[in-house]
Structure 1
Amino acid sequence: MIRLGLRMALGRDGLGRLALIGGAVALGVALLLGVLAGVNAVQAQNLRYAWLNSAVTAAATGPPVADPAWWAPRQDYFHGRSIIRIDVGVTGPSGPVPPGLPELPAAGSFSVSPALARLLDATPADQLGDRFPGRRVGVLGASALPGPDALIAVVGRTPAEVSVLDGAVRVERIVSVSPSECDGCYIGIGGDGLTLILGVVGVALLFPLLMFVGTATRLAAARREQRFAAMRLIGATPRQVATLATVESTVAAALGAAAGFALYPLVRLGLTRIPFTGERFFPAQLSLSWVQIAAVAVGVPLGAAVAARLALRRVRISPLGVTRRVTPRPPRAWRLVPLAAGLAELAWFVGRRPETSNGQLLAYLSGILIVMVGLVVAGPYLTLLGARVLARVSRRPAGMIAGRRLADDPRAGFRAVSGLMLALFVTSVATGVIGTMVKDHGAADAQAGKLGLTSFPEDLAPGERGLTAAAVPASLSSVPGVSHVQVIHYNADRGQQGLPGLISCADLAALREFGSCPPGAEVARVFSDLSAPDGVPAHWEAAPMSAASLASRPVLSLVVLTDGSDAAVERARTIMEAAFPTLRPPLTDQEWNSDFARTLVQFQRLADIVVVASLVIAGCALAVAVTGGLNERKRPFSLLRLTGVRLAELRRVVALESAVPLLAVSALAMAAGFLSAHLFLRSQLQLDLAAPPASYYALVAVGLGASLALIASTMPLLRRITGPEIARNE
C-alpha cells in the first residue's frame, strides 16, 4: 500500500496536488524557521550585552585579575541614537579584558565599534569626535557587539580620572551572564523584557504560522475523500485507505518541508535587516538548533499524516459517507464562550494588576492567547450568521447560492480567512497599545531641542566638583542655533510640591513657554529641566528668598535651549561634556526618559514587524485556501455552468463566499483587538485607549484590499476548471 500511495502521490494526476500542497507547506516552513531563528537571535544578541554590565560586580564570575581596572559605564546620545560609553582606567598589565579587544585602551586612547567609527569619520569633530579624548587606536570585534549598528566606545583614561566619574567601580572580572539572567544588569534586555518579546513573537506569529501550515496540508481534502470513498466501494479496507492517505499527505508535506528549508536562507537574509530589539542581527546570530530543525523536519510531515487520517473519518465510517453527504450540524452559539472568557480574564485584572512582572506577563499574554483561540473557535459561528443574513437579504441568484453554500459548511468558509482575522487582531492590539503610549508621552516632543545637565549637589562627596555657574563655557552661547543658556540652582527647601530647582523670576519671564512666577515673587521653585507637569506651562511655586541670594546657592542643572537642529544640539552637548567630564552626559527631553523611550521604540518596531509579518502570513493562507477551494469545487461549478448559470454569476458566488466571512470576522477581530488593548491599558497603565491613527486605517484598507485582490485573481481560474470536459471527466 505504501508503494501504491507513492505512485498516487507522484503520478501524473497527483503532481498538481503535490505542487500545490508542497508549495504552500514550503512557504509556511520557511517562515516558521525564520521565526524560530529570530527567537534564537534575540537571545544570542542579548548575551553580547553581558560584558557591558561588568560594573555590576556581583554578576561577574571566574577568578579575579591581578590588576583591577576602574570602570565607569555611561550612556551618551547622537541624533537620538544611544551610544554606550565605557570609561576605563588601567592599573596594570594584568587587567580584565572584554571580548573583541586584545587589551583595554591606555589613557589618551579609545576604541570604538565599526558603526561608531564610520559615524566619527562622517561627522564634524565638534559635534561628536571631541567627546572622546585622545586618539582612536582600535575597532571592537564582532564578539563585543550586539549588532552591526551598535554604537559603543571604550575610552582609556587615568585611574584617577575614572574614579571620580559617576558610577565608577573597580572591576576584577568581566561579566559573561546574559542580562536576562543577571540581577542588577541594566544594559541589554532584562528577563521580563526578553520574555515579553519572545512571548509576543510566539503568540502573534507562531500561532498563525502553524495554522497556515495546517491549512496547506488540508488542501484538496474533499477531492481525496471522494477518491478514497470510491476505493472503499470497490473493496479497499479502512486501514488501506488510511495508509494511502497518510502516504500521499506525508510525501507532499515532506517535499514541502524540504523546499522550505531551501527557501529559509532567503528569509534569513531578510531577517538581518529587521531590528526586532532595536538592533539588527548579525547573520551568525540567526541560527537554528538541531532540536528545532528536527522538530520542524519531522513535525510537519507527522502533522500532515495526522490531519490526513482525521480528514478521512467519514470514509472510514462508510464508503457512502462522502457521496451521500448530508449537511453537518451547524456551529452553535457556545463557540462565543472562549472569546468571552479571554476578554473576561483581561477585564478581571483591571484594578487587580499582579504585583510581579512575571505575574503580569502571565496574566496578559494568557488572556490575549485565549482571545485569539476564542476568535478561531467563534469564527465558524459568525460565518454562519453572516451567511444566513446574506441568503435572507439577497435578491440575486449569486447571493442566494453563496449564502446557502456558506451556511452548509461555514467551517470551510471561515478557514480561508482565519489567518487574516488573526492578523487584524494582532494589528489592532499593537496599534491600540503602542499608539496610546506614544500619545500619552508625546508632550516631551514639544521641546526636543532642550538639553539638560544635572549634578545633584547633595550626592557629591567632599572635595568633588559638580556643576558650577563659573564653569559654564561662554562658548555655549555662541553656538549657532543656541538661543538661551540657563543655570538652575539647588533647592534644599523643596516646598510643598518637592521641586528641586530654583530660578529667578526675571530669568523665567524671558522663558514664557516654561511657565511663570506667582505675583510678587522674586524666585520660583522648578524642576531641574524646567519641564512643566503634563507638558503644560506651569504657574510655579514661589520660594521665600530674594533674587540676590540665589547666586550663592549650589548649582543643580544647566539648561540649554536650541532651535532643535541636530547640529546645534550635538555641538552644545559636546561642549558641555568637555567642560564637565565627571558628570553624566546632557540629555534632551526625550533622552531624559531614555529607558522608557528605548523600550517604546523597541515595542513599536516589534509591533510593526508583527503587523507586517501577520498580514503576509494571512495573505499567503488566503491565497492557498481560495485556490484549493476552487480546485475542490470543479465539478459542482461545471454542472452549474451546464445548467445555464453564467460565468459572471459563478464569479459573484466565489467573491461573496470569500468576502462575507472576511468582512464578518474582520469586524469582530478589530473590535476584540481594541477592547483587549483598552483592558490592558486600563489594568497596566491606567490609560484609556486613544483613537487609532490614520496609518492604522490605511494598513487595514491595504490588508483587506490585498485580500479582495487575491480573491479576484482566482477568477480567471474559473473558466478553465468549469468547462464541459471537467464535468464529463469527473
Structure 2
Amino acid sequence: MSARRWARDLAQGVRFAFAGGREGWVRALLTAVGVGLGVALLLLTTAIPNALAVRHDREMARSDDLVVDARIPPAADTVVVAHVDTDFGDRTVRGRALEPEGPRAPLPPGVDRFPAVGEMVVSPALKELLDADSGKLLRERLPDRVVGTIGESGLIGSAELAFYRGGEDLASYIDDARATRIDRFGFSGSPSEPMDPVLLLLVLVVFVVLLMPVAVFIAAAVRFGGERRDRRLAALRLVGADGRTTRRIAAGEALAGAALGLVFGAVFFLIGREVAGGVEVYRVSVFPSYLNPSPLLALLVAVAVPAAAVLVTLLALRGVVIEPLGVVRAAKPARRRLWWRLLLPLAGLVMLYPMVGKGRGNGEFNQYLVVGGVVLLLVGVTALLPWVVEAVVARLGAGTVSWQLAVRRLQLSSGTAARMVNGIAVAVAGAIALQMLFAGVDDDYTRDTGHDLTRAQMQVDVVRTVPLESAAEKLRRTEGVRAAYAYAEGMTGDRRTEPGATTWVTAGDCAALREVATLPSCRDGDVFAVSGVEYDTDTPKLAVPGRTLYLDPSYESGPKRATVAWRVPRDLKEARPRTWLTGSERGGFLVTWGALPAGAGAALYQEVYLALDPSAHDAQERVRNTAAALHPMTSTMTWAATERSGRFASLRTGLFAGAVCVLALIGASLLVSQLEQLRERRKLLSSLVAFGTRRRTLSLSVLWQTAVPIALGLLLASVVGLTLGAVLLKMTATPVRVDWTSVLSMTGIGAAVVLVVTLLSLPPLLRLMRPDGLRTE
C-alpha cells in the first residue's frame, strides 16, 4: 500500500469531517473538545517540571543563608538580613528585615530599593490580605507602612505571602544567629542531597497515575459518534470503496477531530495557564510564566495525539464488517476473549517483581521497570473492563421498564459503556495504590515531636534584649492564654573554652521549674541538680558545691567571647527528673531567678511556653501579635504532635494538586461523552416519548446505564488498585496493610464525579425527549 494512497484516503476523511454538514461538524467539535481537554492537561503536566525548576531557581536566587562558616566584615557592599517570618492561620508569611551597610549593598530579587525603618514592601497576595477585613490581626502585627510590592522575580508563586521591612541595629544579633551579613543574595553551596529510592518511586508512580487517565480519555474521545460514522462508512461502500479504504477514511475523520483538538487544547492550555496564576491548590501557587512546557515534550504531544487517533480508529474497526447496506455491528458481536486481557496485568506484575523487597537500603529502583509495570497494570483495567461489563450485563434479568431499557442498551453497546468509565476506573485504581503506598511509608517520613500538647501548645523565643519576666507577663495577659512558663536556658561547662564536661542550665521561677523536675521544696534563690537523665553523664561531675562553672562556654580555639562564671552553691539541692513540656527529661542545673549571677541573661536563651484556652478564638494570632510587639525578631512556634519530612509532604501536596486537575478533566470529559451519547440517541428517545414512554422512566434508564458500568469499573479498580498497592509496599519492604478509609473515599469520589455528570446531563436529556425530534430532511 503506497503512502500516497494512505495520504489521499486520510485527506478524504478530513474533508468529510469538515464538509459533511452539521452532523460532521458537531461530531468533529465534540471530538475536538474531548481531545482538547486531554491535550491541555498533558501540556500542563509537561510544564510542571519547568514550573518546579523555576520555583527552585527563584528560591535559590533570593536565598540569604550563609553556606560557609565564615564571617563577612561590614563593607560598602554588604547588607545585614534578619529572618522575621511569621504565621497567619495555617499559612507561613516569609519576612526579612534589611539593613544596608553601604551604597553598594545588594538588593534582593524583586525589590528596587531598600525600605526604611517603619516601611515595608510586600507581595501582591500579602497586600491584598492586609487590606482585607480577614487580615486585621495580621495588620496589627505588621504595622509598617507599605511603600511598594515585590516583583515576580522575588517570589516563588503568585499567592505567596512575603515582605521585606527596614531594620536597624541588626548586626548586634548576628552572634545569636538571628541575623546574618551577606554581600550577595543567592545560594552557592553544595548540591542538595539525592532523593532516596522510596521518594523517587513515589514520584514515578504519581506521574504515571496522573497521566494514564488523560491518555485513556483521549483514546475514548476520538471514537465519539461511532454509530453515525458507521452509516457514513456504509454509504462509502455503496459507492464503490473497499473495506480498507473506508477504514482509512474513518481514520482521517478521527485525525481531523484530533488535529482540531490540538488547537482546542492549546487554547484551553493558555486559558488554564492564566487561571493557574490566580489559583492556589494545597498552598502551591505559580505564575503563568512558570508554566512553559518543554518544546520537545510539546512536540511529542502534538505528534502522539493525532497518531493515536489514527491507530485507535483502525484498531476499533478491525473486527467490524462494513457492507454497502450497513455495518455488521448491529448483530450480536462475538464474545470477548479473556486470556489476552489477563496478560497485561500479569506482565506488569512480572516487571515489578524483581524489585520486591529492595526497600530503601538495597539499591535504586529501576525507573523503566517501575513505569512499565505500573502502566501495564493500569492499562489492564481498560482491557478487562469491557469483558467484565459484557459478562455481567449479559446475565442481567428482568426488572422495571427503566431497568430493562438500560440493560438492553448495555447489552447492545457494552464496549461504549466501558469506554466511558475506563478513565475514571484507571484514576481510582491508581489513586488507591498511591494512597496505600503513602499510608504505608508515612511512618518513615513522620516523626513524633514528643511535645506534651496537654500542657503547652506554643513556644515563644524572646530576644535577649527584652526582659524575660516582663515578656512572660505580657504573654500571660494575652487573651486566650491560660498559663505561661518562662525559662532562660543554656549550657555550662568546667572551662571557658573547649570544656571537657558540660550540662544544661535552666532558670525560672519555682512554678516553671516544677514543670521540669520534681522538687523537694522551692523558694527564690535555690539551685537544684537533676541527675540520672539519659545522655547526661556530666551533671554528677559538675554538681560539686563550691566549684566554679562557666555559662555559655566557647568551643572555638582561644577566648573569642566573654563567658559568665558562676559558683555552685553550698546548699545545692537534689531533684528528680520528670517529663518536661517538650516531652523529654531535662537534666543539669535548675536555677531560680534569685540565684542567677549578674550578666547571666546575655549567656542564656529566653523561651516562654504557653498553654492556650482551646475555646478562645484567634488565641494563636493574638500571641503572635504580642510577641511581635515585644520585638520584631521575637519568633513563635506552634507545637504539633508530629513532624513530616518536607520532601514527602511536598510530594503528597503535588499529588493532591494533580488529582484535582485530573478529576476536573474526568468530569468534563465524561460530560462531553454523555452529551455525545444522548445526541446520537435523539431519534430513539423521541420515538419512545412519541409511543407514550414517561420521561421519568427514560431518565432512570439513562441513570442505570451509567450506574452499572461505573459500579463494575469501581469494583475492578479497587481490585487492581489493592493489588498494585500491595506490590508497591512489598517493593519498599513495608508491611502490607489496607487503608480501607482511603479505598472507600477514592471509590466514593469517583462515584460522586459520575453522579454530578449524570445530573448535569439531565437538562439536555429532557430537551431531547420531544416528539419533534423525529423530524428529518
Report the TM-score range of the alignment, normalised by the length of the smaller protein.
0.7 to 0.9
Residue 569 in 1 paired to residue 648 in 2? no
Other-structure match for 1:244 = 249
Q: Separation in 2 of the partners of 1:98 and 1:505?
A: 44
Residue 618 in 1 paired to residue 666 in 2? yes
TM-score normalised by the chain length of structure 2: 0.69
- Secondary structure, aligned partner of 2:334: coil
Query: Which of 377, 382, 402 lines up with 2:383 in the alignment?
Result: 377
Q: Separation in 2 of the partners of 1:626 and 1:121?
A: 45
Following superposition of structure 1 onto structure 2, how do residues 5-44 of structure 1 map, counting pairs within 5 Å?
Answer: 5=13, 7-9=15-17, 10-12=19-21, 14-37=24-47, 40-44=50-54
Other-structure match for 2:426 = 422
- Secondary structure, aligned partner of 1:416: helix
- Per-residue CA deviations over 1:514-566 (Å, capped at 9, x if unaligned) read x99699998554676x144xxxxxxx869698887996696674312232556
Following superposition of structure 1 onto structure 2, how do residues 493-572 of structure 1 map, counting pairs within 5 Å?
Answer: 507=511, 523=575, 525=577, 530-532=581-583, 557-563=607-613, 565=616, 567-572=618-623
- Contact 1:335-1:374 within 8 A present in 2 as well: yes
- Secondary structure, aligned partner of 1:86: strand
One-letter amino acid of the counterpart of residue 284, structure 2: E
Q: Separation in 1 of the partners of 2:290 and 2:690?
A: 59
Q: Separation in 1 of the partners of 2:691 and 2:217?
A: 36
Other-structure match for 1:458 = none
Other-structure match for 1:173 = 184
Query: For residues 446 and 28 of structure 1, do their structure 2 counterparts lie closer, same or farther at Cα, with a shift above 3 Å needed?
Result: same
Deviation at 1:453, TM superposition (A): 3.9
Other-structure match for 1:536 = none
Following superposition of structure 1 onto structure 2, how do residues 193-272 of structure 1 map, counting pairs within 5 Å?
Answer: 202-232=207-237, 234-237=239-242, 240-272=245-277
Other-structure match for 1:460 = none
Query: For residues 306 and 200 of structure 1, do their structure 2 counterparts lie closer, same or farther at Cα, with a shift above 3 Å needed?
Result: same
Q: Separation in 2 of the partners of 1:52 and 1:526?
A: 44
One-letter amino acid of the counterpart of residue 421, structure 1: A
Q: Separation in 2 of the partners of 1:502 and 1:681?
A: 46
Pick the structure with more helix per residue: 1
Query: For residues 690 and 396 of structure 1, do their structure 2 counterparts lie closer, same or farther at Cα, with a shift above 3 Å needed?
Result: closer
TM-score normalised by the chain length of structure 1: 0.73
Query: For residues 451 and 357 of structure 1, do their structure 2 counterparts lie closer, same or farther at Cα, with a shift above 3 Å needed?
Result: farther
- Contact 1:488-1:557 within 8 A present in 2 as well: yes
Q: Separation in 2 of the partners of 1:56 and 1:566?
A: 39
Query: Which of 457, 460, 476 lines up with 1:450 in the alignment?
Result: 457
Deviation at 1:676, TM superposition (A): 5.4
Deviation at 1:278, TM superposition (A): 1.7
- Contact 2:231-2:326 within 8 A present in 1 as well: no
Q: Separation in 2 of the partners of 1:467 and 1:192?
A: 47
Query: For residues 280 and 388 of structure 1, do their structure 2 counterparts lie closer, same or farther at Cα, with a shift above 3 Å needed?
Result: same
Query: Which of 41, 52, 55 lines up with 2:62 in the alignment?
Result: 52
Deviation at 1:415, TM superposition (A): 0.8
**More deviation in 402-411 or 631-640?**
631-640
Query: For residues 653 and 248 of structure 1, do their structure 2 counterparts lie closer, same or farther at Cα, with a shift above 3 Å needed?
Result: same
Query: Which of 327, 330, 336 lines up with 1:330 in the alignment?
Result: 336
- Contact 1:350-1:679 within 8 A present in 2 as well: yes
Query: For residues 359 and 174 of structure 1, do their structure 2 counterparts lie closer, same or farther at Cα, with a shift above 3 Å needed?
Result: farther
Number of equivalenced pairs = 687
Q: Separation in 1 of the partners of 2:699 and 2:281?
A: 42
- Per-residue CA deviations over 1:66-109 (Å, capped at 9, x if unaligned) read 73444454643233321223344533322333221234556776
- Contact 2:506-2:591 within 8 A present in 1 as well: no
**More deviation in 408-417 or 707-716?**
707-716
Residue 76 in 1 paired to residue 76 in 2? no
Q: Separation in 2 of the partners of 1:123 and 1:645?
A: 56
Other-structure match for 1:274 = 279
Q: Separation in 2 of the partners of 1:549 and 1:159?
A: 29
- Contact 1:327-1:409 within 8 A present in 2 as well: no
Query: For residues 675 and 160 of structure 1, do their structure 2 counterparts lie closer, same or farther at Cα, with a shift above 3 Å needed?
Result: same
Query: Which of 130, 133, 158 lines up with 1:148 in the alignment?
Result: 158
Following superposition of structure 1 onto structure 2, how do residues 592-631 of structure 1 map, counting pairs within 5 Å?
Answer: 596=645, 600=649, 606-629=654-677
- Contact 2:437-2:729 within 8 A present in 1 as well: yes
Q: Separation in 1 of the partners of 2:168 and 2:351?
A: 55
- Contact 1:508-1:517 within 8 A present in 2 as well: no
**More deviation in 705-714 or 299-308?**
705-714
- Contact 1:504-1:523 within 8 A present in 2 as well: no
Following superposition of structure 1 onto structure 2, how do residues 76-95 of structure 1 map, counting pairs within 5 Å?
Answer: 76-95=86-105
- Per-residue CA deviations over 1:234-272 (Å, capped at 9, x if unaligned) read 432456435533432233333343344344444334323
- Contact 1:328-1:409 within 8 A present in 2 as well: no
Q: Separation in 2 of the partners of 1:53 and 1:192?
A: 28
Residue 702 in 1 paired to residue 711 in 2? no
- Per-residue CA deviations over 1:365-388 (Å, capped at 9, x if unaligned) read 776555433322322232234224
Residue 386 in 1 paired to residue 392 in 2? yes
Other-structure match for 2:566 = none
- Per-residue CA deviations over 1:445-476 (Å, capped at 9, x if unaligned) read 96697221469xxxxxxxx9699966754322
Other-structure match for 1:586 = 636
- Secondary structure, aligned partner of 1:254: helix
Query: For residues 341 and 490 of structure 1, do their structure 2 counterparts lie closer, same or farther at Cα, with a shift above 3 Å needed?
Result: farther
Deviation at 1:218, TM superposition (A): 1.0
Larger C-alpha radius of gyration, 1 or 2?
A: 2
Query: For residues 276 and 358 of structure 1, do their structure 2 counterparts lie closer, same or farther at Cα, with a shift above 3 Å needed?
Result: farther
Q: Separation in 2 of the partners of 1:38 and 1:424?
A: 22
- Contact 1:335-1:377 within 8 A present in 2 as well: yes
- Contact 2:410-2:417 within 8 A present in 1 as well: yes
Query: For residues 329 and 448 of structure 1, do their structure 2 counterparts lie closer, same or farther at Cα, with a shift above 3 Å needed?
Result: farther
Q: Separation in 2 of the partners of 1:286 and 1:133?
A: 35
Q: Separation in 2 of the partners of 1:129 and 1:716?
A: 53
Q: CA RMSD in A?
A: 5.6
- Secondary structure, aligned partner of 2:160: coil
Q: Separation in 2 of the partners of 1:654 and 1:686?
A: 43
Deviation at 1:724, TM superposition (A): 7.9
Q: Separation in 2 of the partners of 1:403 and 1:503?
A: 79
Q: Separation in 1 of the partners of 2:736 and 2:582?
A: 22
**More deviation in 322-331 or 641-650?**
641-650
Following superposition of structure 1 onto structure 2, how do residues 390-409 of structure 1 map, counting pairs within 5 Å?
Answer: 390=396, 393-394=397-398, 406=410
Q: Separation in 2 of the partners of 1:687 and 1:577?
A: 48
Deviation at 1:417, TM superposition (A): 1.0
- Per-residue CA deviations over 1:133-157 (Å, capped at 9, x if unaligned) read 9876543222211223322233444
Deviation at 1:688, TM superposition (A): 5.4
Q: Separation in 1 of the partners of 2:196 and 2:479?
A: 44
Deviation at 1:442, TM superposition (A): 12
Query: For residues 361 and 525 of structure 1, do their structure 2 counterparts lie closer, same or farther at Cα, with a shift above 3 Å needed?
Result: farther
Query: For residues 25 and 363 of structure 1, do their structure 2 counterparts lie closer, same or farther at Cα, with a shift above 3 Å needed?
Result: closer
Query: For residues 194 and 434 of structure 1, do their structure 2 counterparts lie closer, same or farther at Cα, with a shift above 3 Å needed?
Result: closer
Following superposition of structure 1 onto structure 2, how do residues 152-167 of structure 1 map, counting pairs within 5 Å?
Answer: 152-155=162-165, 156-158=167-169, 160-166=171-177
Following superposition of structure 1 onto structure 2, how do residues 450-489 of structure 1 map, counting pairs within 5 Å?
Answer: 450-453=457-460, 472-488=471-487
- Contact 1:431-1:607 within 8 A present in 2 as well: no
